[in-house]
Amino acid sequence: MLELEVRKRLGGFTLDVALSLGDGRVAIFGPSGSGKSLTLQCVAGLLRPDEGRIAVNGRVLFDSSRGIDLRPQDRRVGYLFQSYALFPHMTVEQNIGYGIHSLPASERARRVKGMVEAMRLGGLECRRPSELSGGQQQRVALARALVTEPDLLLLDEPFSALDSPIRSRLHGELLRLLEGLSITTVLVTHDLAEAYTLSQVMAVFEGGRVLQVGPREEVLRRPSSRTVARLTATKNLFRGTVVGSHEDRLELRSGRLSIVAPPGMYREGEAVDFCIRPEEVMLVRPSVEAGAAVRDNQYRGEVVGEIAHGTSFTLLFKLDGDPLRLERDYDLHIHIPAHVYYRLGLDSQKAWTVSLKREAVHVIGRASGT
């Protein structure tokens, strides 16, 4: 468990972060310059906060009020750097064992052998980093971080220097390795898909602050503010007003658009924001009777643009009339798999009815922030 409350001023930037994280895989997600890596450096002892407290499993690593500031080597924190930081002149075995050189030779050999087996590096013990693939280098760096038997593992954008195809393959490799660990693992990334794939819990950062922390699905589908919605690619985000608050539903209005949403603690007349993820907007085929899930919030319109991603498409959809009066030529983003795009004939059929599924509409109170 990681408990963290730190403040650090660096020029015109202020890091002011409070987090309490249990065991498992956590992703610190946010744009570049939001304070993600600085937070990891504070935990690892590479950057001293101006004030605050850091504890792992109840063991205090830093406490400005009590004058506690353990050295990095005394914190029992494993750290995997962006570039892996392997020593080019050392072999795989020597790199792995570098951080435990003070142990007796027999114990050092036992731990290194165990890491070689755990990371599937058998037969590579005498090779140097330049003779290894990207995945092998990553496993060596991870083995070096884990051989000290840390209480906490920190991964600082470990895929940032890799090409997309290699990065995608290594996601699976790293996930399998992390699933076998029984310690808290904190991954820093600015890639939303990477954060979701490798984490169980997500913490969203911006401007040196924590905006939201929670299970990854909750953060993705129930953002706590407009900013979190924007950062997590919830592109269908609107301002509206509650026109009806009932036990089983909310009724919202945005321009001339009327929306039914799940019930919530909002009053009639209250100004709110609401959003729906692009993959939750459904195309309704006229030849098929609409099921209960898509009967609400149906609107006619047409596809006025599309973006092909190879295995999927983003459709830009304009509702009939001018219900939203947005400062763009379309009203909704719709994300669908490529096989659905071709099966529905979207390359030629542009006029459709869409449904904003009631259960997928998320309402955000204006008091939740910008």
**pLDDT score for 179:** 78
Q: In this structure, what CATH number is given to the domain that contains residue 59?
A: 3.40.50.300
Give CA–CA dist 80/77, Å, rounded.
10
Q: Are residues 223 and 246 in the same domain?
A: no
Question: Scanning the structure block, which residue is given the tokens 């165990």?
Answer: 114
Q: Are residues 93 and 225 in the same domain?
A: yes
Q: Are residues 43 and 169 in the same domain?
A: yes
Contact 199, 26 (CB under 8 A): yes
Give CA–CA dist 2/186, Å, rounded.
9
Of 231, 251, 267, the residue that ends a domain is 231
Q: Are residues 30 and 52 in the same domain?
A: yes
Give CA–CA dist 332/234, Å, rounded.
11
At residue 337, the 3 state secondary structure works out as strand
Q: Are residues 196 and 257 in the same domain?
A: no
Q: Are residues 244 and 206 in the same domain?
A: no
Q: Are residues 158 and 259 in the same domain?
A: no
**pLDDT score for 291:** 57
**pLDDT score for 342:** 94
Structure tokens at 317: 């959809």
Contact 147, 96 (CB under 8 A): yes
pLDDT in tens, the chain (370 residues): 899 999 999 999 999 999 999 888 999 999 999 999 999 999 999 999 999 999 999 999 999 999 999 999 899 998 888 777 888 999 999 999 888 888 899 998 999 998 898 888 899 999 999 998 877 888 888 888 888 888 999 998 877 655 566 666 677 777 777 777 778 899 999 989 889 988 999 999 999 999 999 999 999 999 999 999 999 999 999 999 999 999 999 999 998 789 999 999 999 999 999 999 999 999 997 665 555 556 789 999 999 999 999 999 999 999 988 766 666 889 999 999 999 999 999 999 999 999 999 999 999 987 665 6
Q: In this structure, what CATH number is given to the domain that contains residue 283?
A: 2.40.50.100
Of 207, 231, 255, the residue that ends a domain is 231
Contact 272, 365 (CB under 8 A): yes
Of 231, 262, 282, the residue that ends a domain is 231
Task: Tell me the residue range of the domain where 9 lies.
Answer: 2-231
Q: Are residues 29 and 138 in the same domain?
A: yes
Query: What sign results for the dihedral spanned by CA atoms 14, 18, 21, 27?
Result: negative
At 151, the amino acid letter reads D
**pLDDT score for 326:** 67
Q: Are residues 203 and 95 in the same domain?
A: yes
Q: Are residues 72 and 209 in the same domain?
A: yes
At 39, the amino acid letter reads T
Backbone angles phi, psi at 2, to 5 degrees: -115, 125
**pLDDT score for 149:** 85
Q: Are residues 48 and 148 in the same domain?
A: yes
Give CA–CA dist 156/209, Å, rounded.
18
> What domain count does the chain have?
2
Q: Are residues 209 and 103 in the same domain?
A: yes
